[in-house]
Homo-oligomer: A and B are copies of this chain.
Amino acid sequence: MKNLIVASTSTIHGEAYLEYLLGAVSELYKNTSEILFIPYARPGGISHDEYTSKANEAFRKINKTLKGIHSYEDPIDAIQKANGIFTGGGNTFLLVKMLHDLGLLSTLRAAIFDGTPYLGTSAGSNICGVNMQTTNDMPIVYPPSFKTLGVIPFNINPHYLDPDPSSTHMGETRETRIKEFHTQNTIPVVGLREGSWLEVRGDKVVLRGNHSCRVFVKDNIPYEINSGTEIDNL
């Protein structure tokens, strides 16, 4: 049975890395002390080692150890044997290209469907959707496909931002970008504000955290779903 946390962000303003999520993460990984870390998204371009070391600092607080997938000779075997998996945020294009190039997507998908506890933050949450086409990231590399894991039946827009009525900037709002997505795609999109996450248990998806989320369905007016509510029938 699927068992995931799909979080908008790793970090809330003014807090330490993963701090707001540590209770839920501790519960997610209650049956394992070692977790496989996928650092391919490399936020700010830091190395796989640096990223793994940074993430380990947070996990030490809940007595867990992360081991970076890049340190294994056989990453497919590492995923199959893992008792818990965490994919960190950063650049979604880089993450998805690495997963495709190394042929890891189908193995990762199978592990999640088999019940391996999975945590994703930001880019690591984007890849839980049907495709990565609602990422906010810059296309710094060209992945062989935009398809992702499809372990939830909709797309995520992480770090969702409401339009700022006082802004004088003429770049598209997030809502306009998602509307443009829906001129070309029919996949529903859940805009997850920072501090929100999805708790996925089997086919049940419940919104957690301090905020409502914003739901975008093609040809419909966007609407809000409150925290604590199941997200169903989009």
Contact = CB atoms under 8 A, between A and B. Distances in A.
Contacts of A182: 45
A102 interface: no
Contacts of A161: 169, 171
B142 A145 contact: yes
Nearest to A138: B177
A136 B95 CA distance: 18
A168 to B, nearest CB: 4
A232 interface: no
Interface string A135-173: 111111110011000000000000101000000111110
A100 interface: no
A198 to B, nearest CB: 18
Interface residues of A, number: 45
A171 B159 contact: yes
A137 B174 CA distance: 10
A63 to B, nearest CB: 26
A183 B159 CA distance: 23
A182 B140 CA distance: 8
Contacts of A185: 140
Contacts of A10: 170
A214 interface: no
A94 interface: yes
A135 B177 CA distance: 13
25 contacts: A11-B170, A12-B170, A14-B168, A42-B183, A44-B176, A44-B180, A45-B179, A45-B182, A45-B183, A90-B180, A91-B180, A93-B139, A133-B139, A133-B140, A133-B141, A134-B138, A136-B171, A137-B177, A138-B178, A140-B177, A140-B185, A142-B145, A142-B146, A159-B170, A159-B171
Interface of A: 9-14, 42-45, 90-91, 93-94, 132-142, 145-146, 159, 161, 168-172, 176-185, 194
Closest CB pairs A-B (n = 5)? A45-B183, A13-B168, A159-B171, A138-B177, A140-B181
